[in-house]
Amino acid sequence: GKVLPLLSDVGSNPSAIDYYSRVASNLAGAGRLGDFLIAAEGLRAASGDAGFAARINWRLLSRGVVAALREHGLPHVLEFLRDADRIGVHATVMLDADASDAVAAACRQLLDERIMAEFVEAIEALANCGFFVKGIVDPMDVLKIFVRKRDPDMAIRYARIFPHSQLLLCNTMEAFGKRKELKHALKVFGALKDQLGGINMFACRSIIDICSHCGSSVQARIIFEGLLAEKITPNTHVFNSLMNANAHSMSYNFSVYKHMQVMHLLPYCCCS
Protein backbone atom coordinates (compact mmCIF):
# COMPACT_ATOMS: atom_id res chain seq x y z
CA GLY A 1 0.00 0.00 0.00
CA LYS A 2 0.89 3.65 -0.15
CA VAL A 3 3.43 4.80 2.44
CA LEU A 4 2.00 7.67 4.48
CA PRO A 5 4.28 10.67 5.00
CA LEU A 6 5.69 11.13 8.48
CA LEU A 7 4.68 14.15 10.50
CA SER A 8 8.39 14.86 11.00
CA ASP A 9 8.76 15.20 7.21
CA VAL A 10 6.26 18.04 6.99
CA GLY A 11 8.84 20.82 7.13
CA SER A 12 10.70 19.49 4.06
CA ASN A 13 7.94 17.68 2.17
CA PRO A 14 5.11 19.76 0.62
CA SER A 15 3.01 16.64 -0.03
CA ALA A 16 3.21 15.78 3.68
CA ILE A 17 1.76 19.14 4.73
CA ASP A 18 -1.00 18.71 2.14
CA TYR A 19 -1.79 15.24 3.47
CA TYR A 20 -1.98 16.28 7.13
CA SER A 21 -3.95 19.39 6.25
CA ARG A 22 -6.55 17.09 4.62
CA VAL A 23 -6.55 14.86 7.70
CA ALA A 24 -7.12 17.88 9.95
CA SER A 25 -9.85 19.22 7.64
CA ASN A 26 -11.65 15.87 7.65
CA LEU A 27 -11.56 15.79 11.45
CA ALA A 28 -13.13 19.26 11.49
CA GLY A 29 -15.75 18.22 8.93
CA ALA A 30 -16.75 15.28 11.13
CA GLY A 31 -17.40 17.75 13.98
CA ARG A 32 -14.32 16.54 15.89
CA LEU A 33 -13.11 20.07 16.58
CA GLY A 34 -10.94 19.07 19.55
CA ASP A 35 -9.10 16.46 17.44
CA PHE A 36 -8.76 19.02 14.65
CA LEU A 37 -7.01 21.41 17.06
CA ILE A 38 -4.61 18.69 18.24
CA ALA A 39 -3.75 17.83 14.64
CA ALA A 40 -3.45 21.47 13.65
CA GLU A 41 -1.19 22.34 16.57
CA GLY A 42 1.11 19.38 15.89
CA LEU A 43 1.24 20.17 12.21
CA ARG A 44 2.02 23.83 12.81
CA ALA A 45 4.88 22.87 15.14
CA ALA A 46 6.28 20.34 12.66
CA SER A 47 5.98 22.61 9.63
CA GLY A 48 7.28 25.75 11.28
CA ASP A 49 3.94 27.32 10.29
CA ALA A 50 4.65 26.80 6.58
CA GLY A 51 1.29 28.04 5.33
CA PHE A 52 -0.67 25.30 7.08
CA ALA A 53 -3.72 27.42 7.87
CA ALA A 54 -4.22 28.35 4.20
CA ARG A 55 -4.50 24.64 3.35
CA ILE A 56 -7.42 23.99 5.69
CA ASN A 57 -10.63 23.18 3.84
CA TRP A 58 -12.92 25.96 5.03
CA ARG A 59 -16.07 24.19 3.82
CA LEU A 60 -15.32 21.17 6.01
CA LEU A 61 -14.38 23.43 8.91
CA SER A 62 -17.66 25.33 8.52
CA ARG A 63 -19.66 22.09 8.39
CA GLY A 64 -17.97 20.92 11.58
CA VAL A 65 -18.74 24.18 13.37
CA VAL A 66 -22.44 23.93 12.46
CA ALA A 67 -22.52 20.31 13.69
CA ALA A 68 -20.72 21.20 16.93
CA LEU A 69 -23.09 24.10 17.50
CA ARG A 70 -26.08 21.79 17.10
CA GLU A 71 -24.67 19.01 19.29
CA HIS A 72 -22.68 20.86 21.95
CA GLY A 73 -23.91 24.46 21.94
CA LEU A 74 -22.44 27.92 21.55
CA PRO A 75 -19.94 27.85 24.49
CA HIS A 76 -18.22 24.81 22.95
CA VAL A 77 -17.87 26.58 19.59
CA LEU A 78 -16.62 29.81 21.20
CA GLU A 79 -13.96 27.85 23.05
CA PHE A 80 -12.94 26.19 19.78
CA LEU A 81 -12.67 29.54 17.97
CA ARG A 82 -10.48 30.96 20.78
CA ASP A 83 -8.22 27.90 20.79
CA ALA A 84 -7.98 27.91 16.98
CA ASP A 85 -6.91 31.57 17.08
CA ARG A 86 -4.24 30.71 19.63
CA ILE A 87 -2.60 28.16 17.31
CA GLY A 88 -2.76 30.46 14.29
CA VAL A 89 -5.89 29.10 12.58
CA HIS A 90 -8.22 32.11 12.31
CA ALA A 91 -11.29 29.92 12.01
CA THR A 92 -13.77 32.76 12.48
CA VAL A 93 -12.85 34.41 9.18
CA MET A 94 -12.84 31.00 7.41
CA LEU A 95 -16.50 30.25 8.19
CA ASP A 96 -18.92 30.18 5.28
CA ALA A 97 -22.27 31.99 5.30
CA ASP A 98 -24.17 29.02 6.74
CA ALA A 99 -21.78 28.62 9.67
CA SER A 100 -21.64 32.37 10.35
CA ASP A 101 -25.45 32.54 10.27
CA ALA A 102 -25.71 29.59 12.67
CA VAL A 103 -23.34 31.25 15.16
CA ALA A 104 -25.24 34.55 14.87
CA ALA A 105 -28.58 32.77 15.38
CA ALA A 106 -27.26 31.09 18.55
CA CYS A 107 -26.30 34.53 19.88
CA ARG A 108 -29.70 35.97 19.01
CA GLN A 109 -31.36 33.10 20.85
CA LEU A 110 -29.53 34.15 24.04
CA LEU A 111 -30.79 37.67 23.46
CA ASP A 112 -34.37 36.51 22.80
CA GLU A 113 -34.29 34.56 26.06
CA ARG A 114 -32.78 37.61 27.80
CA ILE A 115 -29.71 35.66 28.97
CA MET A 116 -27.84 38.94 28.79
CA ALA A 117 -24.54 38.21 30.55
CA GLU A 118 -23.90 35.16 28.36
CA PHE A 119 -24.93 37.12 25.27
CA VAL A 120 -22.41 39.88 25.99
CA GLU A 121 -19.67 37.34 26.74
CA ALA A 122 -20.40 35.60 23.44
CA ILE A 123 -20.26 38.83 21.45
CA GLU A 124 -16.99 39.80 23.20
CA ALA A 125 -15.45 36.40 22.38
CA LEU A 126 -16.54 36.56 18.74
CA ALA A 127 -15.29 40.14 18.34
CA ASN A 128 -11.91 39.12 19.76
CA CYS A 129 -11.74 36.36 17.12
CA GLY A 130 -12.56 38.77 14.28
CA PHE A 131 -16.23 37.85 13.74
CA PHE A 132 -18.40 40.63 12.24
CA VAL A 133 -20.45 41.08 15.41
CA LYS A 134 -22.20 44.25 14.26
CA GLY A 135 -24.17 42.09 11.81
CA ILE A 136 -25.62 39.85 14.54
CA VAL A 137 -28.04 42.43 15.91
CA ASP A 138 -28.24 46.23 15.93
CA PRO A 139 -26.06 47.18 18.96
CA MET A 140 -28.44 49.99 19.94
CA ASP A 141 -31.34 47.52 20.25
CA VAL A 142 -29.30 45.65 22.86
CA LEU A 143 -28.27 48.84 24.66
CA LYS A 144 -31.94 49.86 24.93
CA ILE A 145 -32.56 46.60 26.82
CA PHE A 146 -29.82 47.53 29.31
CA VAL A 147 -31.35 51.01 29.65
CA ARG A 148 -34.73 49.46 30.45
CA LYS A 149 -33.01 47.11 32.92
CA ARG A 150 -31.25 50.14 34.50
CA ASP A 151 -27.88 48.44 34.00
CA PRO A 152 -25.30 51.04 32.94
CA ASP A 153 -22.35 48.75 33.73
CA MET A 154 -23.41 46.09 31.24
CA ALA A 155 -24.34 48.78 28.71
CA ILE A 156 -20.84 50.26 28.94
CA ARG A 157 -19.20 46.84 28.63
CA TYR A 158 -21.29 45.94 25.59
CA ALA A 159 -20.83 49.30 23.82
CA ARG A 160 -17.05 49.05 24.18
CA ILE A 161 -17.00 45.93 21.99
CA PHE A 162 -17.67 48.04 18.89
CA PRO A 163 -15.43 50.45 16.95
CA HIS A 164 -18.16 53.13 17.09
CA SER A 165 -18.45 52.84 20.88
CA GLN A 166 -18.30 56.64 21.38
CA LEU A 167 -21.54 57.10 19.46
CA LEU A 168 -23.18 54.12 21.18
CA LEU A 169 -22.23 55.45 24.64
CA CYS A 170 -23.55 58.92 23.78
CA ASN A 171 -26.85 57.43 22.60
CA THR A 172 -27.06 55.27 25.73
CA MET A 173 -26.39 58.25 27.97
CA GLU A 174 -29.18 60.18 26.23
CA ALA A 175 -31.53 57.18 26.54
CA PHE A 176 -30.97 57.13 30.32
CA GLY A 177 -31.49 60.90 30.34
CA LYS A 178 -34.87 60.63 28.61
CA ARG A 179 -35.95 58.31 31.41
CA LYS A 180 -34.69 60.90 33.94
CA GLU A 181 -32.18 58.41 35.33
CA LEU A 182 -29.41 60.94 35.91
CA LYS A 183 -27.21 58.68 38.04
CA HIS A 184 -26.97 56.09 35.25
CA ALA A 185 -26.45 58.78 32.58
CA LEU A 186 -23.58 60.22 34.64
CA LYS A 187 -21.98 56.77 34.91
CA VAL A 188 -22.04 56.40 31.13
CA PHE A 189 -20.63 59.93 30.78
CA GLY A 190 -17.76 58.94 33.07
CA ALA A 191 -17.03 55.88 30.92
CA LEU A 192 -17.12 58.05 27.82
CA LYS A 193 -14.59 60.46 29.33
CA ASP A 194 -12.30 57.59 30.34
CA GLN A 195 -12.45 56.04 26.90
CA LEU A 196 -11.76 59.25 25.05
CA GLY A 197 -8.89 60.13 27.37
CA GLY A 198 -10.52 63.51 27.78
CA ILE A 199 -13.85 65.26 27.48
CA ASN A 200 -15.82 65.20 24.26
CA MET A 201 -17.73 68.48 23.82
CA PHE A 202 -20.76 66.81 22.25
CA ALA A 203 -20.99 64.40 25.20
CA CYS A 204 -20.49 67.27 27.64
CA ARG A 205 -23.26 69.31 26.06
CA SER A 206 -25.53 66.25 26.10
CA ILE A 207 -24.96 65.47 29.78
CA ILE A 208 -25.62 69.11 30.74
CA ASP A 209 -28.87 68.99 28.74
CA ILE A 210 -29.73 65.77 30.58
CA CYS A 211 -29.03 67.47 33.92
CA SER A 212 -31.43 70.22 32.87
CA HIS A 213 -34.07 67.67 31.83
CA CYS A 214 -33.69 65.97 35.22
CA GLY A 215 -33.92 69.31 37.07
CA SER A 216 -30.37 69.21 38.41
CA SER A 217 -28.75 72.57 37.70
CA VAL A 218 -26.21 71.83 40.45
CA GLN A 219 -24.90 68.75 38.62
CA ALA A 220 -24.68 70.78 35.39
CA ARG A 221 -22.51 73.32 37.24
CA ILE A 222 -20.30 70.55 38.65
CA ILE A 223 -19.65 69.21 35.14
CA PHE A 224 -18.92 72.67 33.78
CA GLU A 225 -16.57 73.50 36.64
CA GLY A 226 -14.87 70.15 36.13
CA LEU A 227 -14.07 71.25 32.58
CA LEU A 228 -12.52 74.47 33.81
CA ALA A 229 -10.53 72.64 36.51
CA GLU A 230 -9.05 70.40 33.81
CA LYS A 231 -8.05 73.51 31.81
CA ILE A 232 -10.51 72.56 29.07
CA THR A 233 -12.22 75.37 27.18
CA PRO A 234 -15.93 74.61 26.70
CA ASN A 235 -17.37 75.63 23.36
CA THR A 236 -20.35 77.96 22.98
CA HIS A 237 -22.79 75.02 22.71
CA VAL A 238 -21.72 73.80 26.16
CA PHE A 239 -22.10 77.33 27.57
CA ASN A 240 -25.58 77.65 26.03
CA SER A 241 -26.65 74.31 27.53
CA LEU A 242 -25.30 75.36 30.93
CA MET A 243 -27.20 78.65 30.82
CA ASN A 244 -30.39 76.82 29.84
CA ALA A 245 -29.93 74.46 32.80
CA ASN A 246 -29.58 77.48 35.09
CA ALA A 247 -32.28 79.66 33.52
CA HIS A 248 -33.75 80.28 37.00
CA SER A 249 -30.51 81.90 38.22
CA MET A 250 -29.76 85.20 36.50
CA SER A 251 -26.75 85.85 38.74
CA TYR A 252 -25.13 82.51 37.90
CA ASN A 253 -25.79 82.91 34.20
CA PHE A 254 -24.37 86.42 34.24
CA SER A 255 -21.16 85.07 35.78
CA VAL A 256 -21.07 82.37 33.07
CA TYR A 257 -21.59 85.04 30.43
CA LYS A 258 -18.68 87.05 31.83
CA HIS A 259 -16.53 83.92 31.82
CA MET A 260 -17.31 83.35 28.16
CA GLN A 261 -16.16 86.90 27.40
CA VAL A 262 -12.90 86.34 29.28
CA MET A 263 -12.34 83.18 27.24
CA HIS A 264 -13.07 85.18 24.05
CA LEU A 265 -16.08 83.04 23.18
CA LEU A 266 -18.35 86.10 23.17
CA PRO A 267 -17.71 89.73 22.19
CA TYR A 268 -17.57 92.34 24.94
CA CYS A 269 -20.45 94.80 24.95
CA CYS A 270 -20.65 98.36 26.25
CA CYS A 271 -22.63 97.35 29.35
CA SER A 272 -19.98 94.83 30.47
Average pLDDT over residues 198-227: 91
Q: Is 217 helix (H, G, I), strand (E, B) or coil?
A: helix
Average pLDDT over residues 171-196: 94
pLDDT score of 12: 56
Q: What is the pLDDT of residues 260-269, one digit of tens each?
A: 777 766 554 4
213 confidence band (pLDDT: 50, 70, 90): very high
171 confidence band (pLDDT: 50, 70, 90): very high
**CA-CA distance, 194 to 208, in Å (whole number)?**
18
Q: Quick one: DSSP state of residue 149?
A: T
Q: What is the pLDDT of residues 64-107, one digit of tens each?
A: 999 999 999 999 999 999 999 988 888 898 999 999 999 999 99
Contact 175, 144 (CB under 8 A): yes
Residue 17 has pLDDT above 80, yes or no: no
Residue 180 has pLDDT above 80, yes or no: yes
**CA-CA distance, 39 to 22, in Å (whole number)?**
10
DSSP 90-146: -HHHH--HHHHHHHHHHHHHHHHTT-HHHHHHHHHHHHHTT--GGGTS-HHHHHHHH
Q: Quick one: DSSP state of residue 59?
A: H
Whole-model pTM: value is 0.84
